[in-house]
Amino acid sequence: MQPAGEREQMDALRQNSIFKGLTTQQIDEILPCILRAVKTYRADDFVYMRGDTVLGLGVVLEGRLLLCQENLDSAANTRSFIEKNQLFGEVDAFSSQSVMPNSVVAQRDSTVLYLSGDFFINLCSKECCNREAHQTVTKNLLRLLADRSVMLSKKIAYLTASDLKTKIAMYLWELYEVSCTPSFHMPLNRYRLAEFFDVARPSLSRELINLKNQGVIDFNRSQVTILDLDALRRISRGE
């Protein structure tokens, strides 16, 4: 009988987006071909240090990791988060490199699934491997990579905006376009949004209050209502 901790890890693994569309039986059939390891980390543990050999394509099952993007002087100058279901260590599958270019730290207690990079670029020859499941997992991986690429592109756009007010307006305008209504719920709380913009939370709150006082938006906790769409659009464009 599996220990409770191992059962929980396997349950989390089966529910991960990388296995979307597969039955439990298909996942169990494909695991021996794709799974390298499942590891747990305590908060502040190093998952990788810069230059470490990549263990495999990493998928966060639980918790949250911090990616430290370092400059030429080896100083961490940019930080981004790797959330649940997100990927890291793609160099294992899609690059000639075999080492991590940046450090990765567990921001909180985390569980990471490591997958074989070879699995995604070579059709498995093992009889145990389910070919249909193999193709589904590969499609899921490409979808996750595409989602991450979109998110990184958005973050670059936010970070290169002229000021915090413009960043906030861009974010709120994007939520408006997705929700198709001027009243919506912000998926990120102020603490998480401040981290995303790489600013102090008081600075974020101050700019939101300024937008409210200017009659552009109104808000109550995470619920936001755009009062002046034209004004918000102009601010989001840096006008």
pLDDT digits (tens, 9 = 90+) for 125-137: 666 567 788 888 8
Domains in the chain, please, with CATH?
A: 4-159 (2.60.120.10), 164-236 (1.10.10.10)
Q: For residues 231 and 239, give the distance between their C-alpha atoms in angstroms, rounded to a whole number.
A: 9
Which pLDDT score, from 0 to 100, does residue 123 have? 63
- The answer on pLDDT for 85 being more than 50 is yes
Q: Mean of the per-residue pLDDT values for the chain?
A: 81
Of the two residues 17 and 3, the one the predictor is more confident about is 17
Q: Are 113 and 141 in contact (CB under 8 A)?
A: no
Q: For residues 103 and 40, give the distance between their C-alpha atoms in angstroms, rounded to a whole number.
A: 17
Q: Are 146 and 90 in contact (CB under 8 A)?
A: no
pTM reported for the whole predicted model: 0.63
Which of 239, 230, 232, 206 has the alpha carbon at shortest distance from 217? Answer: 232
- How would you class 27 by CB atoms within 10 Å of its CB: exposed for 0-12, middle for 13-18, buried for 19 or more? buried
What is the helix (H) or strand (E) element at residue 62, kind and residue range?
strand 57-62
pLDDT bucket at 45, cuts 50 / 70 / 90:
very high
Which pLDDT score, from 0 to 100, does residue 3 have? 53
Highest mean pLDDT among 41-50, 62-71, 75-84: 41-50
**The dihedral formed by the CA atoms of 222, 228, 234 and 238, expressed in degrees to the nearest 10:** -40
Of the two residues 86 and 93, the one the predictor is more confident about is 86
pLDDT bucket at 196, cuts 50 / 70 / 90:
confident
pLDDT bucket at 166, cuts 50 / 70 / 90:
very high
